[in-house]
Structure 1
Amino acid sequence: MTREIKMTNLGKTALALAIAASCSASITYAQGVEGKVLSLEEVLVTAEKREESLQETPISILAFSAEKLARFGVTDLGDISGLAPNVEITPFPISRSSLIVFMRGVGNNDSQSTQDPAVGVYIDGIYMARSIGLTSDVADLERIEVLRGPQGTLYGRNTTGGAINLITAKPSDEAGISQTVSRGNRGYWKSLTKLESGKIGDVAAKLTFMRSAHDGWVKNAGPGRNFGEEDKTAGRFALRWDVNDAVSVDYAYDFSEIDGPQHFYQPISGTSPNPAVPANSSRNGSGQWFGGVEPSETEISGHSLIISAETSLGVLKSITAYRELNEVTVQDYDAGTPGFRVNVDVDQEQISQEFQLVGDYGSDINYVAGLYYFRETGNEMESDTYGGFPLENRQIISESEAQAIYGQITWSPESLDHRLDLTLGGRYTADDRSADKSSITFVGGPQSASESWSHFNPSITLDYAWTDSVSTYGKIVSAYKSGGFNVRSTEAGFQPPFDEENIMSYELGLKSTWLDRRISFNAAAFHAEYKDMQLQQITNNATIFLTDVFNVGEAEIDGFEFDLMAVLVEGLTLQASYGYTDADFVEYIDQRPSQPTFGQDVSDGAVMPYAPEQSFTVGLDYEKSLSIGVLQASVDYSWRDERYGTAFNDDLGGFFLDDNGIVNARLALSEIDLGGVNLEVAAWGRNLDSEEYRVHSISLGTYRSAYFGEPKSYGIDLTLRF
């Protein structure tokens, strides 16, 4: 009965959004300002390892073009938070460079070197194993693709929630220089330089360099820099060599650095440890740490080599990559008293090699096949203190290795005019992981362990084009996330390791365009069965800094999402996206020996973390040619329902995040001709109504603390293109 009531309310909300969408507006991919201004541009994606139209790809997918990324000021993955319904992206409390990513209620709310995320993040097809550094700037993004739902066949392990592709801009055949400078409130500035060599013989190169900084939004009342203040540097060098008509080689090197203190956790309820800083449910403008603020630093870099060759069997591609990261962070949760403080130092290296074959057999069959190898090593050290007294001092040295073989074949019979696509896929993965852990809480001394997992994930998709502009699809997809060892474990909880977790997803989808490509409407409804969930529990409330991970959970997740784009009148375009998730535990076994519910199913008292019931974004974009250039104006609004940051705890209120809505806007005049130099001037504002919202909250017994999101920010961008 409860679910029926929810769905009834949801239907009202969806109807209201649809009505609003038909008479409101937002940004879309409209063609030019002159000519075909009343039709949507075809959006190309590579979600299925080959370039194809978004409208012909049977995946619930959102694609953010370079133009749209610039409009939203997106330079890293964290910047798209709020732009994709049914997707939750928030920083990890110990490290603002680490992101907690959930899709459709599936994710991992921890960041560890021995526990994998549930949403895979890829840069140019290269898997990013750790969530550390995901807020690092990517100096030159061409497109971001958000693939909602399990992607076990083509993307492999650790995509039980979905996958995100960050695609960088490749070197151009034309030489050019671009320089952007930005200024804003709270001392914000940014410089972005792009240098294009153009094609010289068979080779083209591109160099991109970015620097930015801001002062943070919580003033430090003690010694040191302001909270959240940061300096960011990012660079990328890309080289493309067209060996001949059939072979091309792409090499890239990128790096990113983040320097500055962590965000400020302020008391929000309960007994504050510092009477001078009383509990406050609103955002504090200032605060301090006992003993002064300490900085945090993140450094990430990587090399990639991609070789593509056209053969008689199709396009054969080799993707080779090496990446490394180092991060040193300091976080304090007790607002000016000698309280709970965490120091973490993480080093990680990874190498990967993938071979892909993408081809066609006749006119009825196309296929993707691949081999994949991945290896990483990590060294993670953490010290936890309270009032300067050591609670924990640990080190984890880890290694993991994964190998996979995968394939997907699509049959599109000519007898049905290629309107039917039947796709079968499968992936076999073998994982090995080992870890050595030493800790002052381990009275028995250091521990060492290793374990192996393997799994086969099949998939089937049926896609039918009823007309040239309307198609529907149904799919059954499975995915799995490998097991591991818990960095923050008690001595008894380090072994045995937690096991793999699995998900089976059933999805029905619609892809459609209307009125001669003036409107596009895509929708998907899904049901997922989530088993052997890896869940953390504090087994002893006296040692809340120690958690153990158990395969104790099962859940069912139902929901749907739709994405609407429309050209309303000449120059005025619309996008409205909506997501609904009904995620419920069906089993959660209590693993706390000291509790009377030990060994019992406590799913009635548990909530799926980071799974807001409703989320949406809607906006307007206007574009018009003037005598001096092109005028662009846009406004958008995004909304998230309330959600929790953890699944089960005696004090759920300490991890509660309230609903919030954010308003952004931008006004730009572009294509201003200054005698061979192109000028663009843009004014922008984010969170224009200064919405006060918690990004993360934590419960330390009767004391609860949280840090708040950025208040209103605004600035100006100037871009010169030569």
Structure 2
Amino acid sequence: MSISNTTTHRFTRSLCAAAVASACLSVPAVWAQDNTDDDASAGKLERIEVTARKSVESLQEVPVAITSIGEMELAEKGIENITEIQQFSPNTTLQMSRGTNSTLTAFIRGVGQQDPVWGFEPGVGIYIDDVYISRPQGAVLDLYDVERIEVLRGPQGTLYGKNTIGGAIKYITKKMSGDTELAVNATIGTASQRDLKVSGQVPVTDNLYFGFAVASLQRDGFGTFLEAPEGQDRENYNKDILAGRFTLEYQATDDLFFRLSYDKTRDESNAKGGYRLVDSLLTDAPQPDSVYDSYTSLPTWNKVDLEGMSLTVDWNINDFWAFKSVTATREGDSPTNIDFDNTPLPIFDVPAKYTDEQFTQEFQLNYAASNMTAVAGVYFYDAEACGIYDANLVAFGIALEQSGCTDTTSYAIYGQTSYDFTEQWSVTAGLRYTKDEKDGVVNAATLLGLNYPESGWVDGYVRPDNAGTTVIDDTESWSRVTPRLGVEYMYSRDTMFYASYSQGFKSGMYNPRATFYQEPAAPEVVDSYEVGFKSDITDNFRLNATAFWLDYTDRQYVVNVPSDDLAEPTQRIANVGESEASGIEVDFTYVVTDALTVTGSLGTIDAEFTEVRSVDADGNPIDLSDNFVISNTPEYTANLAANYTVTTGIGDIVFNANYYYRDDYELFESPDPLLAQEGYGLVNASATWYSDDGKWQVGLHGKNLTDEEYRVGGYNFTGGRDENGNLLPGLGGDTTLIGYYGDPRTVHLNVGYRF
């Protein structure tokens, strides 16, 4: 984002972190600058630059629904977690998934993936400097020196490819300044929060720069494991993260730039214990008094290791042509303990281990002339996602084990162009061809007693040699062309109307929980139609609005169907769902004076299933659409925020406050009234002081000041309800209905100093 300073000595605020899970590490990179933008001092709107179409453009000139939040806004609001971005983007859900601090549940316009098991593809793409992050594990992260975060709503299949059928979230970092810098940032807060971040950059030569950031993020738990195995840490909802990022930038010539980046993150926060919404049938442990307290019979340790490296090359060939290459590799290792029943007994315990690695290569060519812009490229993706879990069911004395890998190879070629027919009319057209090939291996076993993915998982455990039966060992491929077509009309220099059609698809998949051979589910497809406008109505009032309608076909869901040799239903993934959604999204910015700015957003959506195909116990086809809802999609989301700057004799003080409302929503497609989340509102406020000499920054930030309790995840492993509405026992023989909650009221004090 292009940010205009409002005073001579205001910091240029940036995020300083190293790909950290659950944390936005705000450390200024360039702390003091002269004010060179007259618009801000005159109380006018700023120009916001985005890269939604893979080239730098003004937000107001891009016919795409976008939310862009820059480094200054992130720092002044004290945003520590990427999930907080959902407050500022209509019809967007970004929440920590159940069980860990680092797994992301992302939905945009009713499209996403709430099950984070290996091999499942997300419906919202996450990108870090054009590098696609393929798995939700470890996706709750932010980067060193973030320039802005962009949320692109609606299918982005033409430029961004598969698995962006809901939209895309982009982390964009900025180049180093080339000066020698060192910054230290410390934070203390609620639950003994104690963060320390150190960042800096050093010019090695006149055109070679080295940058670094290290961060330690620590916090005690919001709750306690009331009972846990002996010797285990009993903190629940705690944080224990160590991260680092290192970057080399080489400006070979004015037109040729290289960036080599390496990051590593280790999250050793405890496994998250959920809150039982009903009493257990098999134990006498009462419901805890606090929603952040829990019980567990599993170890409480948890780990997420992430590591990545990327090389970016930017070459401005001439005044019209530019070339870009992005080469990247990433890998992750996530052993985890998930106590589904959250009791002191192993009624339904799932110790699991996820591993993944990926390699991506993209070559991109951009063209820009007076009346035409174009982008074209080729993309290669090679990834492996593996996992193993043991579902320990003490009531039956067995463990149901699943393991396997999904290997994916993907090739794509794409192009998109915008052409101005006149000064007012333009058209945008694009196509992307993608071919996916997947190799799926799934193993299933039934083991006696308690079992774990590795020897030594608990003291004295030795893993048996039996690897089970291979039920799937198969290869499938799919290909698809995803188009985009749009028309834009510049009503005036400051007002644009647009209409577009776009399509996206989510990759096909094998069922990693299969117990017998199954054909893979085919890709999902979303067709989306939008009309909207973007207008700077006056020099200080901006209004953007979009109306959309989407048709979602071949939705992949787990359904219960009879197997060939068992009378009882078993799990199967199939393309069983059809849904549609329509809605409106509105954003406004009002620069009241050069000191006061008010912003707001509103999202409405009407989303529903039109068909959910399954079979009854006799194998007869049935439609379950009346029993299914679109999960993680409130009908209304709204935000109202204000930013006010006071200039004093010792520096500027910037006050921020916002109110975010989220209407009621379901956490699962098959709802239960006890698991539904009612509408709620969050109140946040911050005050940040910047010293006149540009060296000190002190911020006081309060979140969820009214201490709202709200669910962000859960599990439903009941057997449904009887004719009287009473819960029936489900897998494990208990009524397992579990909720996970967002953060309670927190306050933190942040102090930064630049040497």
TM-score if structure 2 supplies the norm length?
A: 0.86
Q: Please state if 1:267 is matched with 2:276.
A: yes
Q: Which residue of 2 aligns with 1:258?
A: 267
Asked whether the 8 Å contact 1:75–1:139 carries over to 2, the reply is no
Letter in 1 for 2:607: A
Q: CA deviation at 1:335?
A: 3.1
Q: CA deviation at 1:398?
A: 2.1
Question: Superposed, which structure 2 residues align to 1:529-678 within 5 Å?
Answer: 529-539=551-561, 547-591=571-615, 593-594=616-617, 598-648=620-670, 652-673=672-693, 678=695
Asked whether the 8 Å contact 1:697–1:707 carries over to 2, the reply is yes
Q: Which residue of 2 aligns with 1:717?
A: 750
Q: Which residue of 1 aligns with 2:47?
A: 42
Q: Which residue of 2 aligns with 1:487?
A: 512
Q: Which residue of 1 aligns with 2:26?
A: none
Letter in 1 for 2:541: I
Kindly tell me the number of residue pairs found equivalent between the two proteins.
679
Q: CA deviation at 1:30?
A: 6.2
Q: CA deviation at 1:252?
A: 0.7
Q: Which residue of 2 aligns with 1:511?
A: 534
Q: Which residue of 1 aligns with 2:135?
A: 130
Q: CA deviation at 1:658?
A: 2.2
Q: What secondary structure does 1:643 align onto?
A: coil
Q: What secondary structure does 1:336 align onto?
A: coil
Q: CA deviation at 1:570?
A: 3.4
Rounded Cα–Cα distance in structure 2 between residues aligned with 1:443 and 1:234:
37
Asked whether the 8 Å contact 1:138–1:234 carries over to 2, the reply is no
Question: Superposed, which structure 2 residues align to 1:226-245 within 5 Å?
Answer: 226-245=235-254
Structure 1: segments with no counterpart, 5+ residues = 1-26
Letter in 2 for 1:643: Y
Asked whether the 8 Å contact 1:139–1:210 carries over to 2, the reply is no
Q: Which residue of 2 aligns with 1:24?
A: none
Of the three residues 689, 703, 714, the one matched with 1:697 is 714
Rounded Cα–Cα distance in structure 2 between residues aligned with 1:305 and 1:617:
38
Rounded Cα–Cα distance in structure 2 between residues aligned with 1:643 and 1:254:
36
Could you give the per-residue CA deviations for residues 5-60 of structure 1, whole angstroms, max 9, x where no partner exists?
Answer: xxxxxxxxxxxxxxxxxxxxxx9966514752411211111111111111111110
Asked whether the 8 Å contact 2:541–2:590 carries over to 1, the reply is yes
Q: Please state if 1:364 is matched with 2:371.
A: yes
Asked whether the 8 Å contact 1:608–1:644 carries over to 2, the reply is yes
Q: Please state if 1:434 is matched with 2:439.
A: yes
Rounded Cα–Cα distance in structure 2 between residues aligned with 1:351 and 1:525:
37
Q: Please state if 1:400 is matched with 2:408.
A: yes
Q: Which residue of 2 aligns with 1:298?
A: 304
Rounded Cα–Cα distance in structure 2 between residues aligned with 1:218 and 1:496:
43
Could you give the per-residue CA deviations for residues 107-148 of structure 1, whole angstroms, max 9, x where no partner exists?
Answer: 111113322111111000010011110124534322100000
Q: What secondary structure does 1:262 align onto?
A: coil
More divergent stretch after superposition (114-123 vs 529-538): 529-538
Q: What secondary structure does 1:81 align onto?
A: helix
Letter in 2 for 1:427: R
Asked whether the 8 Å contact 2:156–2:164 carries over to 1, the reply is yes
Letter in 1 for 2:275: Q
Q: Please state if 1:460 is matched with 2:468.
A: no
Cα gap change, 1:546 to 1:202, in 2 (>3 Å): farther
Rounded Cα–Cα distance in structure 1 between residues aligned with 2:468 and 2:317:
60
Q: What secondary structure does 2:626 align onto?
A: helix
Q: CA deviation at 1:240?
A: 1.2
Q: Which residue of 2 aligns with 1:309?
A: 315
Rounded Cα–Cα distance in structure 2 between residues aligned with 1:544 and 1:318:
52
Asked whether the 8 Å contact 1:639–1:661 carries over to 2, the reply is yes
Q: What secondary structure does 2:268 align onto?
A: strand
Rounded Cα–Cα distance in structure 2 between residues aligned with 1:217 and 1:545:
39
Q: CA deviation at 1:644?
A: 1.3
Could you give the per-residue CA deviations for residues 525-583 of structure 1, whole angstroms, max 9, x where no partner exists?
Answer: 00101111112224489999964221011111100101111112331111101111101
Cα gap change, 1:717 to 1:174, in 2 (>3 Å): same
More divergent stretch after superposition (564-573 vs 526-535): 564-573
Could you give the per-residue CA deviations for residues 646-705 of structure 1, whole angstroms, max 9, x where no partner exists?
Answer: 223xx63354222221111111111343xxx61111111111111011122222323222
Q: CA deviation at 1:355?
A: 0.4
Of the three residues 97, 100, 121, the one matched with 1:116 is 121
Rounded Cα–Cα distance in structure 2 between residues aligned with 1:694 and 1:544:
32
Rounded Cα–Cα distance in structure 1 between residues aligned with 2:486 and 2:630:
28
Q: Which residue of 1 aligns with 2:255?
A: 246
Rounded Cα–Cα distance in structure 2 between residues aligned with 1:514 and 1:137:
34
Asked whether the 8 Å contact 2:561–2:614 carries over to 1, the reply is no
Rounded Cα–Cα distance in structure 2 between residues aligned with 1:354 and 1:444:
39
More divergent stretch after superposition (399-408 vs 83-92): 83-92
Q: CA deviation at 1:376?
A: 0.4
Could you give the per-residue CA deviations for residues 217-271 of structure 1, whole angstroms, max 9, x where no partner exists?
Answer: 1123345320121211221111111111221111111111111212221221355
RMSD: 2.4
Q: What secondary structure does 2:222 align onto?
A: coil
Cα gap change, 1:140 to 1:662, in 2 (>3 Å): same
Rounded Cα–Cα distance in structure 2 between residues aligned with 1:544 and 1:485:
21
Asked whether the 8 Å contact 1:288–1:336 carries over to 2, the reply is yes
Asked whether the 8 Å contact 2:44–2:594 carries over to 1, the reply is no
Letter in 1 for 2:651: G
Letter in 2 for 1:92: S
Cα gap change, 1:28 to 1:271, in 2 (>3 Å): farther
More divergent stretch after superposition (96-105 vs 328-337): 328-337
Identity of aligned residues (%): 28
Rounded Cα–Cα distance in structure 1 between residues aligned with 2:675 and 2:170:
30
Q: Which residue of 2 aligns with 1:142?
A: 147
Rounded Cα–Cα distance in structure 2 between residues aligned with 1:633 and 1:84:
21
Q: Which residue of 2 aligns with 1:15?
A: none
Asked whether the 8 Å contact 1:461–1:474 carries over to 2, the reply is yes
Q: Please state if 1:352 is matched with 2:360.
A: yes
Rounded Cα–Cα distance in structure 2 between residues aligned with 1:187 and 1:116:
36
Cα gap change, 1:560 to 1:327, in 2 (>3 Å): same
Q: Which residue of 1 aligns with 2:325?
A: 318
Could you give the per-residue CA deviations for residues 327-373 of structure 1, whole angstroms, max 9, x where no partner exists?
Answer: 0110113333312111111111100110000112x422211000000
Q: CA deviation at 1:192?
A: 1.4
Asked whether the 8 Å contact 1:368–1:409 carries over to 2, the reply is yes
Cα gap change, 1:655 to 1:431, in 2 (>3 Å): farther
Of the three residues 32, 44, 48, the one matched with 2:6 is 32
Rounded Cα–Cα distance in structure 2 between residues aligned with 1:564 and 1:698:
37
